[in-house]
Amino acid sequence: MELILIIISTIFVNNVVFAQFLGICPFLGVSSRVSTSMGMSAAVIFVITISSMVAYMLQYYVLVPLGIEYMQTIVFILVIAALVQMVEIVLKKVSPVLYQALGIFLPLITTNCAVLGVAILLIQKQYSLLESVVFAFGTAVSFALALVIFAGIRERLEIEDVPRAFRGTPIALVTAGILAMAFMGFSGLV
C-alpha cells in the first residue's frame, strides 16, 4: 500500500518536472519530437533506477559508517558520472540495438539534475532500499510522462502561427505552466 502511494504521488501529484522543477533542461531541450523524447525517457528511467540503488548503498554502507555524510554531494555526483559511463560501455557490448536507441542520450544524463536530485531526496526522506527504488522508478516515469506529453504538444505548436517574441522557449514555458496547472488537479488524489 505504502509503495503504491509512493508511485502514484511521485508520478502524478508531485510530478518531477511540473511540481519539483527537476530535470528542466532536458525537458526543454529534447522535447521537440515525440520519438527523441521517448528515447530520452527510456534512458532516464534506466539510469535513475540504478543510480538510486547505488546511492542508497553508498550512503548507508559507506558514508554513514565513516561519519562523512557531508561528502555526499561529491561522492554522489562522481558515482553518477561513472555509472553513466559504465552503462554506456555495457550497453554497447551487450545490446547494440538498445545502444543505438539510447546511446546519444546517455552523456546528457550526467547533467540532468533529476538524477542527483532523486539520490539526495531519497536519503532525505529516509526511505528503505525498496521504497527508494520504487520512488526513483516513479520519479523517472513521471519525467517520461511529462516529456512525452510535452513533446506531443510542441509538435503541434510548431505548425501554429506563434507571435515572434513568443517563439521557441517562451511559448514552451507558458505551455508548461498550463500543463502544470492541469497536473495540480491530481493533488486531490492522495
Partner 1 sequence: MNKLGIIISGIVKNNPTFVLLLGMCPTLGTTTSAVNGAGMGAATMAVLIMSNIVISLVKSIIPSKVRIPAYIVIIAAFVTIVELCMKAWLPDLYATLGVFIPLIVVNCIILGRAEGFAAKNGVVDSALDGVGIGLGFTLSLTLVGAVREVLGSGSVFGWRFIEGDGMLIFVLAPGAFLVLGYIMVMFNKLVAKTK
Partner 2 sequence: MKNTLLNMILVLGGISTIASAGVGYVYRITEEPIAAAVEANKTAALGDVLPDFDAIVPLESTLDGIPVTVHTATAGGSVVGYAVETATTMGFSGEFRLMVGFAPDGKVLAVKVLQHAETPGLGSKMVDAGNPLIASFEGRNPSDMRMAVRKDGGEVDALTAATITSRAYVDAIARAFAAMLEARGSALNSPFGEALGGGENVVLEAREGASENLTNDAKQTDNE
**Site residues for partner 1 per CB under 8 A:** 18-25, 28, 70-74, 77-78, 81, 110-113, 115-117, 120-121, 124, 164-166, 169-174, 176-178, 180-181, 183-184
In contact, 30 and 144? CB cutoff 8 Å: no
184 binds partner 2 (CB under 8 A): yes
Identify which range of 121-129, 150-158, 161-169, 172-180 contacts partner 2 by CB under 8 A: 121-129
112 binds partner 2 (CB under 8 A): no
Look-up of cell digits 551487450: 94
**Conformation bin of residue 126: beta by default, left when phi > 0, alpha when psi is -120 to 50:** left
CB-nearer residue toward partner 2: 20 or 49:
20
CB-nearer residue toward partner 1: 42 or 120:
120
Among 62, 71, 162, 173, binds partner 2 (CB under 8 A): 71
Least distance from C-beta 97 to partner 1, angstroms? 28
Among 61, 100, 125, 182, binds partner 2 (CB under 8 A): 125
Identify which range of 87-95, 117-125, 156-164, 173-181 contacts partner 2 by CB under 8 A: 117-125
CB-nearer residue toward partner 2: 135 or 137:
135
CB-nearer residue toward partner 2: 165 or 178:
178
> How far apart, in whole angstroms, are the C-alpha atoms of residue 154 and residue 107?
24
Q: Write down the H helix ranges in the chain.
A: 2-8, 24-29, 34-58, 64-66, 72-94, 96-102, 106-109, 113-124, 129-157, 169-184
The total number of residues shown for the chain amounts to 190
Nearest-CA neighbor of 91 among 39, 22, 26?
Answer: 39
In contact, 7 and 138? CB cutoff 8 Å: yes
> How far apart, in whole angstroms, are the C-alpha atoms of residue 60 and residue 118?
16
* Binding region for partner 2 (CB under 8 A): 9, 14, 19-20, 68, 70-71, 74, 78, 121, 124-126, 184, 187, 190
